[in-house]
Every structure is written in C-alpha cells, then in structure tokens.
C-alpha cells in the first residue's frame, strides 16, 4: 500500500509513525507548500518523494491512498481532488469547517467508491470500545443520562508550549485563521466519544459558547482571539436519554482529559482517558444498591491507521467514515446557531 502524506505539520509526524508500523504500508511521498518543511519531514521519516503542491503529487500519481493532515480549513480543498483521482483518503478531524462542505466530501467519496475515514483518534481508546460493547449487550439496561467532558488547560499552562507566542496555538483562537474554537477543535472528539461509547446519536441540542479575554483587545499580532474557548451543551439522544456535553481550554489541572459517564436503569459506566492512561469503571448488579464501582479489564484494540489500511484491502467502508463526521459537523453547526438564537434545535 503506497501512501501519500498531505500536510507535514506536527500531527503528520504521528501519522508517519503510526502508518510506519502497519505491515505492507510504504509512505512514498509527502506534500506541503513549504519546501523546507516538507523536505525536513521527508528526511525525518525516510520518505523518497516530496512535492510543494497537491497538483504535482496527483500528476505523479504513484500512490494508492492519502492521509490528509492539513489545517482544518484546507481539508475540503485538498480532499476533493484526491477523491476525484480515485485515491482512498483518511482525513484529520474535523472533516470540514461546515456541514455543507463535509456533506459534499461524503457525497463525493461515496459516489467514487473509495475507502474514506476520519481520524477521530479517541476511537483508539480500548476502554470506550469496551463501554460501547457493554451498553449494546444491555449490561446497564436502558440508558437514561449521559455526561461527557473534554478538558484542556493550555490557556492556563505552558505544559504544551506558550500559546501566546506560537502560531500552532494562536490560529486555534482566531476565526479568521479558520478556527471554530474549542467547539470545532475538540467538540467533534467529545461528541463522537459520547455517542460512540453510549451507542447512540444526538436528536437535539442547545449550546452556550464563551470567549474569554486573553490579551488586550483580544488580539496578538495578526490573530484576533475571537474563537470560543469553552462550550456547554445539553442534548437529547436517540435512545431517549438526556445529557450534558462540555469542553474547555481553561480547565486548570487537566492537560488533556476525556470523561464519559453513562447511567442506565440497571447500572452505570465511567470512562476516563488522560495522557497518562485510561480506565473503565462499572457499577453493576448487586453493586448498584451500595454504589460500588469496580475497574473493568479491557483488551487492546486496533488503531484507526490499521483499520484504514485493512479496509482498503477489503474494499469496504470503515467507521468513522466521512458521512459520520459530516453528521457530527451538522451538530456542531447547529450548536453555534443555538447560541445565537438561544433556542434548542433538532438535528
């Protein structure tokens, strides 16, 4: 399997390292508009061919699939030509900045018959996969309430770098640089984490978004810091449950934490995923009466990178697909509308 990497920023290193461990995969080329950057990336990962435009790579054409690691606002413009060329595509999240663009990408991929997948990376967490299996097996009964959070602290900590001086962070705070804020950046992750783990989908949402002052006039150089920093969302789910989903970059003391609680009429589950590890706890059967929670052992699972390559080999779809990511983007778009109009909206 000959793979092209499109975009050579920080996350592209993660893609190279993961795809590099999958048997039968050869990363044959990389593309980036910055010549020095793409050549340094190719040297670091022993990639033979480099291009400074996607058109050049497509004219060369000696690859079977591509992984798209460009900035969010470039996903649509770079993925559509790959689909038109009949190349299988994994794309970073979010699939696009708007539902309209994401749906167009999903339509095109399905019409072309290519394997398409979005790297919703927390699908790789074995504990949320186990929780989903337990919900689907009826171990906690009917789901009544769902709580999910994604907490980061990089606006109050330099553990990941100095956000006020580094472009890799500043663009995430600026709508004019293609950011939809924490809602667009990690909102799609926590929506997927919640819905996948609880084995359901969202029917309706009402969200509040907040942008806090981070600098004088909320501007640093060319960056207007106007993207949302925190959001809270109430949701009704297809399985009849209601719940709350929230995320923030101001979560002091939480470097990067996803948490999911699923409450059923016969038991409950809690998944916690942090940079230092993951856990799954359950309160089931006789433990329900005394609210005793016990750790659940889980088996390792395959990564999105492995699943993408296997799907190409089978010639079949593999979740999370472009269509799934487009449906999540629809919820994010509606969340922004609910903030403006102060009303709940159906998906």
Residues 283 and 235 in one domain: yes
pLDDT of residue 219: 97
Domain count, the chain: 2
pLDDT of residue 239: 97
**pLDDT tens digit string along 257-301?**
999 999 999 999 999 999 999 999 999 999 999 999 999 999 999
Residues 111 and 249 in one domain: no
Residues 91 and 133 in one domain: no
Specify the pTM.
Answer: 0.93
User: Of 90, 119, 148, which one is at a domain's C-terminal end?
Assistant: 119
Residues 66 and 160 in one domain: no
CATH number for the domain that contains residue 89:
3.40.50.720
Residues 150 and 57 in one domain: no
* C-alpha closest to that of 338 among 210, 206, 233: 206
pLDDT of residue 317: 92
Residues 280 and 293 in one domain: yes
Distance CA 96, CA 80 (A): 11
CATH number for the domain that contains residue 191:
3.30.360.10
Residues 212 and 137 in one domain: yes
Whether 106 contacts 82, CB under 8 Å:
no
pLDDT of residue 164: 96
User: Of 67, 98, 119, which one is at a domain's C-terminal end?
Assistant: 119
User: Of 119, 139, 154, which one is at a domain's C-terminal end?
Assistant: 119
Range of the domain at 307: 122-346
- Taking 50 as the pLDDT cut, the residues of the chain under it are none
pLDDT of residue 292: 98
Residues 43 and 100 in one domain: yes
- CA distances, 188 to each of 76, 120, 177, 195 (Å): 17, 8, 19, 11
Residues 96 and 147 in one domain: no
Residues 114 and 146 in one domain: no
pLDDT of residue 178: 83
Residues 64 and 193 in one domain: no
pLDDT of residue 168: 85
Residues 143 and 279 in one domain: yes
């Amino acid at each position: 399997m000959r793979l092209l990497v499109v975009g050579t920023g920080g996350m592209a290193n993660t893609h190279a390292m993961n795809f590099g461990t999958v048997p039968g995969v050869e990363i044959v080329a990389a593309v980036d508009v910055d010549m020095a950057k793409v050549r340094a990336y190719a040297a670091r990962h022993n990639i033979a061919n480099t291009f400074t435009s996607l058109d050049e790579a497509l004219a060369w054409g000696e690859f079977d699939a591509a992984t798209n690691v460009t900035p969010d606002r470039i996903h649509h413009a770079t993925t559509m030509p790959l689909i038109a060329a009949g190349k299988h595509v994994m794309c970073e999240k979010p699939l696009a900045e708007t539902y309209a663009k994401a749906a167009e990408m999903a339509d095109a991929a399905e019409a072309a018959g290519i394997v398409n997948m979005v790297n919703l990376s927390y699908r790789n967490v074995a504990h949320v996969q186990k929780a989903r299996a337990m919900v689907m097996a009826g171990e906690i009964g009917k789901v009544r309430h769902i709580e999910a959070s994604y907490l980061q602290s990089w606006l109050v900590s330099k553990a990941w770098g100095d956000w006020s001086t580094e472009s890799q962070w500043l663009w995430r705070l600026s709508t004019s640089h293609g950011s939809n804020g924490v809602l667009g950046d990690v909102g799609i992750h926590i929506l997927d984490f919640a819905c996948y783990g609880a084995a359901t989908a969202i029917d309706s949402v009402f969200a509040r978004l907040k942008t806090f002052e981070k600098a004088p006039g909320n501007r640093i150089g060319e960056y207007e810091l106007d993207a949302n920093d925190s959001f809270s969302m109430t949701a009704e789910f297809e399985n009849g449950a209601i719940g709350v989903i929230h995320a923030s970059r101001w979560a002091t003391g939480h470097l990067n934490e996803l948490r999911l609680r699923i409450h059923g009429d016969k038991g409950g589950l809690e998944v916690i995923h942090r940079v230092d590890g993951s856990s799954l706890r359950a309160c089931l059967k006789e433990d329900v009466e005394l609210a005793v929670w016990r750790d659940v052992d889980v088996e390792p699972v395959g990564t999105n990178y492995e699943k993408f390559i296997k799907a190409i080999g089978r010639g079949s779809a593999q979740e999370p697909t472009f269509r799934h990511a487009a449906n999540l983007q629809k919820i994010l778009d509606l969340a922004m509308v609910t903030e403006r109009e102060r009303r709940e909206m159906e998906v």
